[in-house]
Amino acid sequence: MLAALLASLALAAPPDVPVSFGDDLRPVLARACFPCHGDDGRRKGGLDLARFATGDEARREPRLFREAIRRVRDEEMPPARGPALGFAERALIVRGLAALLDPGDGPIDPGPTPLRRLSRDELGRTIRDLLAVDVDVAAHLPSEGGGGEGFDNAADTLFVSPLFVERLLGAVDAAVAAADLSPWESRDDPVAAFARRAFRRPIDEADLAPYRGRPFADAVRAMLVAPTFLFRIEGTRAPADGDAPGAVPVDDHALAARLSYLLWSTAPDETLLARADAGGLRTAEGRAAAVARMVADPRSVALAERFAAQWLGFDRLVTTSAPDRRRFPTFTPALRDAMAAEATLSFDRIVREDRPVFELLDADGTFLNATLAAHYGIDGVEGDALRWVAVDDRRRGGVLGMGAVLTATSFPLRTSPVVRGAWVLETLLGTPPPPPPPDAGTLPADDVRDDGLSPKARLEAHRKREECASCHRRIDPIGFALEPFDPIGRWRDAAAGQPIDATGALPGGPPFEGPVGLKEALLARREAFARTFVERLLGYALGRGLEAGDERSVRAIVDALLDDDGRSSVALLGVVESVPFRYRRAEAADDAPPGGEPR
């Protein structure tokens, strides 16, 4: 199909002839797409493509049109029963939309650089490292929702409310009261030394004036609630040879902070600050050396605890409805903690050992202790400490066989093929289904019923409505492949007294059987998985949702990742070397919060 598509690209229009959204693309979309996603009242999946009249309007929703490119390219859309779409028209859509999202010439736009407050987790880790205390600062602070690419470090969700300020003051008081400040006071100028680390940059007497003349503990308290600590205030430096054109490089200390909060979720240490002082982050070699040191540091587990947990959803293991303890008495806190640790350590191993990110889909082992191994039915594992164990059974190894993921995508009393299928589509393939219509109805909370129907038959009866079926046809076959795992991730051969039918299929793909078949189908679409991983990692690093201008950076990182067998270091360094990570828009360089000054 790829050869035919490439040939049809030449038929659609010469490479040097631009494709106009209004004149070239929209008429094809009107014929092939508007009948189902148009302005005549038929908006399947809640999607109305007819509302996009110009290329500028379409460019504002890059995720939607990246998904459109994928579905048209993979011949998922239009559906077989829909309008026919020839190779030339299909290629015109793919080429035209790709060019719309990324014209491919001129400087890369770094995108917006929203002012970012430290998240509650970042505050907790930063204060813990500065004061060397075990006080759980984050537990004192209000919870924060996910924004941007779905992470709690997204700038657009990090407000400073009166409740936040009140809780922060109490948390800081508790942390300072528990701290031993004598290591700081043994220095010549403890206020200056602490301010440099807390504000993450060089400081001068103007910075220190508000804190002079106070007892040191009071000065520390004041610095830990100052805007220059709470916000990541970034300065810029003058462009130099080798810098990206049309963008302003962030200064060395801002870049050091971007690195430390990406990899450690805390402030730069003295080594990283010293490297920034010496200009050691201005070269690719210097940045690569810094990343290598930071990945080798135990603090890099934060990338698994924060990025991977939120992306893969196993952070919900303790924040959403837990399995019903009467139905599942073996789901103890010890088992739950072991599940979360298995997922965390598996991702951390990929990063620390520079392994292929595709091992998230399929690995030859996993982290187990005696409790989790017994839960999975794996013999020969003893003790409470988790360790890497080679596993021959391909049902385990990789996120599809992890109890943390399987439990987080279930209801308290039953599994949910819909939730699990939607999780695979959104989390692993980057193709989230639309939300259900308001009157879609719900399935029973428990799958133990006397109606004689298997869970699969019951769900098929539920989706008879065409407006529901259009999405369920994509979601359910994926979720059914994971039905052999019960709501807490144990293997089973029957559910609700009926044998399990675990046949499934990815959209537009051949049928497969069970979780192993699903793994193989996902590995056959490794480019989609690689793109999803890169998009989520870049969004997490930037603290915002991705925009059209980020497409060129994403594509370059994905291409490099695929060319190097998916090694995790390629993705990390690709993000660090990307224009959005190292630069700002020139007009955004003067942003500052109330009470703070950019440097």
Alpha helices in 25-161, H assignment, sequence order? 26-32, 34-37, 55-59, 62-73, 87-101, 120-131, 137-140
Q: What is the rounded CA–CA span in Å between residue 362 and residue 1?
A: 26
Neighbours of 19 (CB within 10 A): 18
pLDDT at position 148: 65
Q: What angle do CA 345, 557, 527 make, to 5 degrees?
A: 75
pLDDT of residue 275: 98
CA atoms within 13 A on the CB side of 555: 14
3-state secondary structure of 442: coil
Q: How many CA atoms lie within 13 A of 356 on its CB side?
A: 17
- Predicted confidence at residue 308, as pLDDT, reads 98
What's the confidence (pLDDT) of residue 485? 97
pLDDT value of residue 589: 45
Question: Residue 125: which residues within 8 A CB-CB, separation 6 or more?
Answer: 138, 264, 265, 266, 302
Please tell me the predicted confidence (pLDDT) of residue 6.
31
Average pLDDT, the chain: 88
- Give 10-residue mean pLDDT values along the chain (599 residues): 32 52 90 83 78 89 83 75 79 84 76 94 97 91 78 92 95 97 95 98 96 97 97 93 89 98 98 98 97 98 98 86 90 96 98 98 98 97 98 95 96 93 94 72 62 62 63 88 97 90 88 96 94 96 90 92 97 97 76 38
pLDDT of residue 84: 80
Residue 441: what pLDDT? 58
Helices (H), 179-266: 182-185, 190-199, 205-208, 216-223, 227-230, 252-263
Beta bridge pairs of residue 513: 503
Q: Where are the beta strands (DSSP E) in 272-363?
A: none
